Chain A
Amino acid sequence: MSAPTTYRQPVSRLWWLKKRTYFLFVMRELSSVFVAWFAVFLMIMVVAIGRGEASYQSFLSWAASPIVVVVNIVALAFLVLHTVTWFALTPQAMVVRGPGGRWVPRIKEVSVAGRRVPAATVVRVGGRVPAGMVIASQYAGLIVVSAFVVWLVLR
């Protein structure tokens, strides 16, 4: 008896438009391009400042041109999406343990010279910081860093 034939369900090229969550995911991935753009933009600015007053003035007039302003507005929107979505995902990806946790002994196997050998270690259990607090502390950190940058620029 031959093996039964199965039907392979095709994946549409537009799979990412089929669900809101898929679309948001693809937009989040795309946002990294705009993060890179802002890094490049800042580097261009730093180089311009380094070259002196005239160069900085021509950077400013380039940065004020409609096309650059539009690109930067779009980039800012993607940066906000990037920040909000990644901050929201952090507690899922990272276990942050607070004062409620404690260290317990644990034996783990480690690789030494290609052989697996047991090794005594300690791991932390319990005391997981609630997701809301992890997210809130990231925003707090963002505010502190932003305030420092504002102070640095305006002082």
Chain B
Amino acid sequence: MADSIQMNVTRYDPDQDSAPTVARYEVPLRKDWAILDGLNYIKDHVDGSLSYRWSCRMGICGSCGMNIDGEPKLTCAAFLSDYAPGPIRVEPLSNFPVARDLVVDIGDFMEKLPRVKPWIVRDDVTVIDGEYLQTPEELEEYKQFSNCINCMLCYAACPIYGLEPDFIGPAAIALAERYDLDSRDRGQRERLDILIEKEGVWGCTFVGECTKVCPKHVDPAGAIQRYKLKAAQENVMAFLLPRGTR
């Protein structure tokens, strides 16, 4: 194994550059080093001005997502040795505006996420009087969707989001489904009102790439198609039932 590997890293300074450029760095190639370790090496030893997000280094915080050789990945979970002999292309997540170097502006996602009310909706309870009980079977119904860490790799992988930025996107719909399937929740109707719109589930054409890149195996594509079924049933009901009952 060679003792170093080249990383081609996107650099962008909004005060100086009109478009991003590529900088080439040699970093030590160590078997136990992730891409993130390579970036940290550059920042500590080569160029301290390199900007990127990271925190936990263990695939939980969801902040270190970047495009590695064109694929959205958590850089803490992608290893340098898997890309040997290199060079490795490290770019900001696609489909998001770039703020600086590898940092993207996630404002759009942060604005969209609360629209689907990703929390337990219970208007009928004012005082918490004990726990809401749930069987393991009921937990199993939504558990997969609750593993989302908001890393936004699915947004970077989704060509629809790239072409139609109004699309509410994979993770937000997967989280809506997570709470819809929760036996303690009563917010299905409110979420459906948001997601039945054009920018909601109908924006999705089932490319399926969101599910492929998800580091937590959430399956947003599956959640969206299941939601479409609900939305379609609702449309049929609205068509069949008299107006007053709607």
Interchain CA distance A97-B48 in the complex, whole Å: 55
* B141 near A9: Cβ-Cβ < 8 Å: no
Does B229 interact with chain A (Cβ within 8 Å)? yes
Instruction: Tell me which of B14, B188, B222 contacts A5 (CB under 8 A).
Output: B14
When distances are taken between beta carbons in the complex, the residues of chain B under 8 Å from A84 are none
Q: Are B14 and A104 in contact (CB under 8 A)?
A: no
- Tell me if B208 and A89 are in contact (CB < 8 A): yes
* Residues of chain B in range 191-243 having any CB-CB distance to chain A below 8 Å: 205-209, 211-212, 219, 221-222, 225-226, 228-229
Interface: A113 (CB within 8 A)? yes
| A18: nearest chain-B partner, CB-CB | B70
Distance in angstroms between the alpha carbons of A102 and B137 in the assembled complex = 10
Contact of A125 among B96, B137, B163 (CB under 8 A): B137
Contacts of B229 in A (CB 8 A): 93-94
- CB pair B245–A112 under 8 Å, yes or no, is yes
Interface-side segment among A21-29, A75-83, A145-153: A21-29
Question: Which residues of B have CB within 8 Å of A108?
Answer: 186, 188-189
Chain B's closest residue to A28 (CB) is: B206
How far, in angstroms, from A107 to B226 measured CA to CA in the complex? 20
A7 touches B226 (CB 8 A): no
Interface size on A, residues (CB 8 A): 35
Q: A7-B98, A22-B207 are in contact. Are A92 and B183 (CB under 8 A)?
A: no
- Contact residues, A4-19 vs B (CB, 8 A): 4-9, 11, 15-16, 18-19
In the bound complex, residues from chain B placing their C-beta under 8 Å from that of A21 are 207-209, 212
Interface bracket on B: 35 or more
Most buried by B among A4, A6, A95, A102: A6
Indicate if the CB atoms of B124 and A89 lie closer than 8 Å: no
Q: How far is the CB of A124 from chain B (nearest CB, A)?
A: 10
**Partner among B17, B100, B162, B226 whose Cβ is within 8 Å of the Cβ of A15:** B162
Contact A92 B137 (CB under 8 A): no
Contact between chains at B105 and A6 (CB < 8 Å): yes
- CB of B189 within 8 A of CB of A89, answer no
- Inter-chain CA distance A149–B188, complex, in Å, is 43
Complex-state Cα separation, A26 to B96, whole angstroms? 23
B170 interface hit (Cβ, 8 Å):
no
- Neighbouring B residues of A25 by C-beta, 8 Å: 205-209
- Given A16-B159, A118-B124, A125-B138, A113:B244 Cβ within 8 A: yes
| A113 to B246 alpha-carbon distance, docked (Å) | 5
Taking the nearest CB of chain B, how far is it from the CB of A84, in angstroms? Answer: 14
A69–B166 CA distance with the chains assembled, in angstroms? 43
Whether B222 and A9, one on each chain, are in contact in the complex, defined by CB atoms closer than 8 angstroms, is no
| A16 CA / B209 CA spacing, docked (Å) | 12
B209 CB contact (under 8 Å) in A7, A22, A118: A22
- Complexed CA–CA distance, A68 and B21 (Å): 51
Q: A6-B105, A93-B225 are in contact. Are A118 and B186 (CB under 8 A)?
A: yes
- Other than the given A92-B211, A112-B245, A112-B246, 18 more pairs (CB < 8 A) read A4-B14, A5-B14, A6-B14, A6-B97, A7-B17, A7-B97, A7-B98, A16-B159, A22-B209, A25-B209, A29-B205, A92-B221, A104-B183, A110-B189, A111-B189, A111-B246, A126-B137, A126-B140
A residues whose Cβ falls under 8 Å from a Cβ of B = 4-9, 11, 15-16, 18-19, 21-22, 25, 29, 89, 92-95, 102, 104, 106-114, 116, 118, 125-126
